Each structure stands twice: as structure tokens, then as C-alpha cells.
Structure 1
């Protein structure tokens, strides 16, 4: 079934305001919900948060009072959407359990996007980040067993493997080596623009989450791991946002943001297994269609361009959360030793990388390695859930499997 968003009319903006009862959404059941339903919730929280932040930045750079008022009206509804979505997460879940779910999103969403991405350079960028989030999932899963004495399979439900990726200590690069080349807005596929905006928003929300929840733990090792991976999320946001074309006008960016929200709500409406959540995705899609119409009208009025010039007439295939085990293993075997140099990728540690590592580490092991050392000391081995067999990278296997 095709869906042509520019031809649709959503709920009029003056009918979108919800009262407290309507915003009081029931929480997901952490023990019985589909893990990918939780992943969709986390994803849309990141997408809505990015839309809100973008709207504020646009308003701060816009001298037109009427446009600022229009942005404020839409942004308030976006805030209500964000509250409805994020408040679906279960209050019973610990910070670490939610963290592991965040990393499952980062792994499987980025893997799906990389598989579908038509641009080789962007695809490489998605695969590069995916292997690092894959290792973050492994490190947090070990912290979970270490301090909460529980296993991550309860959260990811064997849909996503938990095993070493590109080792986290190797993610710390000089900031200038995190800046990529950007796509050309006049040449890039509309799908590439959606992919880049989606992963950037998801990583930004992960960064924001770790910035705020890291100090909530008393255990020093937990606080340190959140600091370390939180800094890597800064690198990831830089990595992905630099792929966006900075030459896009504010109006083009506004249309792309609203179109992407529509696309993702449509995707999740089509793929959702929970009827209650599907109803929320459908409601928000119909709200976002009106936001898209408003953005398109603003673009026509202020830039004199037809939005159909920059977005696809029909939505691409729905974004789908599904296992990506074979694909991740294939990429891991081929790219585990990559790092970056300038806007490209290399296999050998270079002088700038080595100097930055030496200064940051200060002669001590990284917290992400300390987590593994403490887990092995306490339980005899690190925690893994390798449903497809030992790692495809011999050096990442347990000693008994090499």
C-alpha cells in the first residue's frame, strides 16, 4: 500500500490539544511487552525531542513574529506528543534496563537503516556507528549483571545478540576526526536524508539521556561507565549531524523534520504488534500530517519553492525493527578494526588518535574495561548472549573459544 503524505489532510491544529486524561497513557508492561515495541517508543521519543529542539533553534533565528507564533503552536503539540510517547516507558524499569533498551534501539535501528541506505558513504557511516553501539550494549549488559545481578536477555529477548563489538576504549577519537562529509541536498536521495536525520535524532536522545541519568547511580563503576559512553555519544551525534547538508535552508529542514515524523509514525503504525500503541502511532501520524502541511505552506510562502522538490511523493518501505544478527556479524568481521582519520576511515591507529588516547586514558584502563574486569572477577566470565555461536572475530572470543 502506498502512502502519499503531501496529499493527506490531518487533524486541524486547533483540534490537537489534549487534556490531562488523554495524556495519561498506560505504561508498557516491562515483563510482557514486545521488546521492539519499547524500541519504537524510545525511537519516537528521540524523534519528537529533535523536532522540539529544532523548532526552538528555528525560532531563535527567525525575525518573523507570525512564523515564530506558528512554530510555537506546533511545538506545543510536539511537546504533548513527546510526553505521551515517553511516558509509555515503564516506571518499574531501572535506569540500566532502560539504557539497555536504548542501546538495542541504537543497534537494530542503525543496522536496518544501513541495510537500506543507497549511498555508500552514508552506509559506511551507519555501519561504523552501529558496531560501537553494539559494544555499548555489551558493556552495559555486563554492568547490569554486576550491580543488579540480572541478565540482559530479559530485556532484549534474544532478538539482539549481546557480545563484543568494536571495543569501547577504541571509540575515543580526536573531535576533528568525528566530522564527516555531508550529503549534497540537491543530489542525495530523499531516503538518505530521512535515514541521516533519524539516526542523528536517536543518538542525540541517547546522549541527552546519559547526560542526565549517569549521576543517579551510587556505584562508582556505573557513574564512570555512563561518563565514558556519554562522551562517545557526543562523538556519535557529531558523526551523524555532520552528514546532514548545512546548506539546507531553515524551511527545507522544517519540511524534512515534519516529513520524517510522518514517515516514522506511519512505519510504526504499519509494523506495531501492540494494538494500543498502534492507535497512538495512528493518532500522532494524523497530527503530524497537519504539521507537515503547515511546514509546506511556510516553505511555499517564504522560500517560493514547492516542497515536492525536496521530499518523495510516496513514503519508502516502513522502517522495521527486526533481528539483524547475520548482518551485524558480517560487518563486525569486516570492520572491527576501523577508526577515522579526517572525514574517512582507516584501519591503523594514527598519531592524532594515539595522542588523544594517551591523554584521555591517563595510564589507566577505561571504565568500560574495568566493568568487564569486575564482572569476570565476580562471576568467572563476562556476560554474553551469543545466539549464533562464538564471535566472528577470533580476538573477541572468550579464551576457551579461540
Structure 2
């Protein structure tokens, strides 16, 4: 079925405001929910936070008071949406359990986008990044077993493998080598724009999450690991945000943000097995359709262009959370030894990479390796699960 959000009527903005009772949604049950329901929640939380942050930045650069007022009205609704989505996560889950779910999002969301991305250069960017998130999941799984004496498998439930990726110590690169070449806004496939915005938003939220929760731990090794991986997430945000054409106007970016929210809420509504969560995705889609209409009107009025010039005439095939085990194993076999150089990729260590490694990994070694050493000392092994009929 084709779905063109530019032609759909949403919920009028003056009917979108919710009271405290409506915002007080019951959280999911972490022991009974589909792991990908939790992944969809984490993803949409990042998407809504990006929408709010972008709206604030646009307002700070906009001299038109009427536009600033319109952004403020829509932004408040986006904030209510974010509260509903994020509050679906259960308070009984520990920070580490939520962290493992965050990395499951990073692995399976980025792998799916890499599989579907039509542009070879952008595809390579996602393939490169996902092997690092894959290793982060593995490192946190070892920490989780050490601190909480439980298996990450209880969270990912076999949908995502927990095994080594590109080793986390090798993720530390000179900052200039994290900047990729952007797509061309006039030539890029509309799907490529949605992919870039989605992964950038998800990685940005992961970065913010680790920045805030890392110091909450008492265990020194946990504090250190969150600090290390939190800095890798900074590299990832730089990596992904640089894919977006900086020549896009504010109005064009606003339409892209709203269109992407429609795309994701529609995608998740189509596949959500939890009827209560599905109803939230459907409600928010109705709200976002109106936000998109408002953004399109602003673009026509202030940018002198029609939104059809920058977005697809209909939504692409739905974005799907699903296992990507074979795809990831293929990437591990062929790309684990890659690093970046300028806007490209190489297999040989180079001067900037080696200088960064000497600096950040000196004096005691990287926390991601210390986690493995402590886990080996406690259990005589690292964290592994049986998968696909063989040790992972």
C-alpha cells in the first residue's frame, strides 16, 4: 500500500495537547516484551529528541517571531511525545540493561539501513560504524555479567548475536578522520536522507545517554567503560552527521525531520505486536502528519519551494527491526580491519591513527580491555552465547 504523508490529514495542532493522565503511560514489561518493541521505543526517543534539539537550534537562528512562535507550539507537542515514548521504558530495568538495549538498537538498526542504503559511499559508512557498535554490545555484556551476574542474552533474546566486533580500542581515531563527505542534497535518493537523519539521531541519543548515566556507577571499571564508549559515540555522531548536506536550508531540514518522523512512526505502527504501544505509534503518526503539513507550509512561504522537490512522493518500504546475523558475520569477515583516513577508509594503520592510539590508550590501557581482563579473571572466559549451532 502506498502512503504519501504529504496528502494525509493529521490531527489538528490545537487537539494534540495532552494532560498529565494521558502522558502517564504504563511502561512495558521487560520480562515479557518483544525485544524489538524496546528497540523501537529507544529509536523513537532519539528521533523525538533530535526533533526538539533541531527546533531549538532553528529558533535561535530565526529572526521571524511568527515562525519562532510556530516552532515553539509544535516543539512542545514533540516534547510531550518524547516523554510518552521514553517513559515506556521500565524503571525496574537497570542502566546496564537499558544500555544493552541501546546497543541492540545500534546494531540492528544500522545493519538494516546498511542493507537498504542505495548509495555505495553511504552504505560503507553504515557498514563501518555497525561493526563498532557490535563490539560495544559485547563489551557491555561482559560488564553486565560481572556487575549484575546476568546474561545479555536475557535482553536481546537471541535476535542479536553477542560476540566481538572491531575491537573497541581501535575505535579511537583522530577527529579529522571521522568527518565523511556529505551526500548531495540535489542528487541524493530521498531514502538516503532519511537513513542519515535516523542513524545520526539514534547515535546522538546514545552519546547523550552515556554522558549522563556513566557517572552514576560506583564501580570504577563501569565508570571507565562508559567514558570510553561515550567518546566513541562522539566519533560516531561526527561520522554520521557529516553525511548530511550542510547546504540544506533550515526549511528543507525542518521538512526532512518531520517527514522522517512520519516514516518511522508509520513503519513501527505496521510491525508493532504490542497493541498498547502500537496505539501510541498510530497516535503520534497522526500528530506528525500535521507537523509535516505545517513545515511544508513554512517551506513554501519562506523558501519558495514545494516540499515535493526534496522528499519522496510516498513513504519507502517500512524500516524493519529484524535479525541481521549473517549480514554482520559477512562484514566481520571482510571489514573488521578497516580504519578511516580523511573521508575514506584504509586497512593500514597511519600516522594520525597511531598517534591517537599512543595517546589515549597509554597509561593503564583502554577500559574496554580492562573489562575483558577482569571478566577473564572472574570467570576464566569472556562472555559468549551459543548461536547458530556453534560457539559465537
TM-score by length of 1: 0.97
In structure 2, the CA distance between the partners of 1:365 and 1:389, relative to structure 1 (3 Å rule), is: farther
Query: 1:56-95 counterparts in 2 under 5 A?
Result: 56-95=56-95
Query: 1:154-173 counterparts in 2 under 5 A?
Result: 154-173=154-173
Moved more, 57-66 or 355-364: 355-364
Quote the offset at 1:386 in angstroms: 4.5
* 2:259 alignment counterpart: 259
* 2:317 alignment counterpart: 317
Quote the offset at 1:390 in angstroms: 5.7
Quote the offset at 1:361 in angstroms: 1.4
In structure 2, the CA distance between the partners of 1:197 and 1:315, relative to structure 1 (3 Å rule), is: same
CA RMSD of aligned residues (A): 0.9
The 4+ residue runs of structure 1 with deviation greater than 4 A are none
- CA-to-aligned-CA distance 1:189-240 (integer Å, 9 cap, x gap): 0000000000000000000000000001000000000000000000000000
* 2:370 alignment counterpart: 370
SS in 2 for 1:345: strand
Paired with 2:388 and 2:174, the residues of 1 have a C-alpha distance of 35
Quote the offset at 1:362 in angstroms: 1.9
* 1:128 alignment counterpart: 128
TM-score by length of 2: 0.99
Quote the offset at 1:124 in angstroms: 0.2
Quote the offset at 1:327 in angstroms: 0.2
Query: 1:235-250 counterparts in 2 under 5 A?
Result: 235-250=235-250
Are 1:282 and 2:279 matched, yes or no? no
Name structure 2 gaps, 5 residues minimum.
none
Quote the offset at 1:388 in angstroms: 2.5
Quote the offset at 1:389 in angstroms: 5.4
Query: 1:262-341 counterparts in 2 under 5 A?
Result: 262-341=262-341
Aligned length: 392
Paired with 1:57 and 1:205, the residues of 2 have a C-alpha distance of 16
Quote the offset at 1:163 in angstroms: 0.1
- CA-to-aligned-CA distance 1:89-121 (integer Å, 9 cap, x gap): 010000000000000000000000000000000
Quote the offset at 1:2 in angstroms: 1.1
8 A contact 1:161–1:386 mirrored in 2? no
Quote the offset at 1:363 in angstroms: 3.9
Paired with 1:276 and 1:193, the residues of 2 have a C-alpha distance of 30
Name structure 1 gaps, 5 residues minimum.
392-396, 398-402
SS in 2 for 1:5: coil
Quote the offset at 1:365 in angstroms: 1.8
Paired with 1:118 and 1:13, the residues of 2 have a C-alpha distance of 35
* 2:28 alignment counterpart: 28
Paired with 2:4 and 2:25, the residues of 1 have a C-alpha distance of 29
Quote the offset at 1:384 in angstroms: 1.4
* 1:400 alignment counterpart: none
